């Protein structure tokens, strides 16, 4: 579940054009070392999740599996995508912190 803070950061990143979406676009950006954080929706196919996490591990890119395609698409204004690349290190830092905080709070309950 996206909290308001995280939704805001993702929205700001999208408006600032520091958020790219789509499988091939994100793969290309990872290979060119432009991605600071890759977010893969939890409801993406297992094969997509596996390929993207392996690509991130081999290139040393931060990766998080978080949220649903619907939620992430709604807050970023990109319908139907499940893969999001944050290309700005400041946005990546705050978004990573929020995702980690969200996930650790979710485990408490």
Tokens of 56: 């991130």
The CA-CA-CA angle for residues 82, 86, 88, to 5°, reads: 170
pLDDT digits (tens, 9 = 90+) for 12-57: 999 999 999 999 999 999 999 999 999 999 999 999 999 999 999 9
Two structure tokens written together for 69: 């395609």
Task: Give pLDDT tens digits for 91-100.
Answer: 999 999 999 9
Contact (Cβ atoms closer than 8 angstroms) between residue 80 and residue 73: yes
Assigned fold of 4-108: 60s Ribosomal Protein L30; Chain: A; (3.30.1330)
């Amino acid at each position: 579940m996206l909290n308001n803070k995280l939704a805001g950061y993702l929205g700001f990143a999208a408006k600032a054009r520091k958020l790219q979406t789509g499988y091939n676009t994100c793969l290309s950006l990872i290979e060119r070392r432009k991605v600071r954080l890759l977010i893969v929706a939890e409801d993406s196919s297992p094969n997509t999740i596996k390929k993207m996490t392996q690509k991130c591990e081999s290139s040393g890119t931060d990766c998080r599996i978080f949220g649903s395609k619907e939620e992430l698409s709604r807050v970023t204004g990109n319908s139907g995508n499940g893969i999001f690349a944050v290309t700005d290190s400041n946005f990546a830092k705050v978004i990573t912190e929020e995702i980690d905080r969200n996930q650790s709070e979710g485990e408490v309950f």
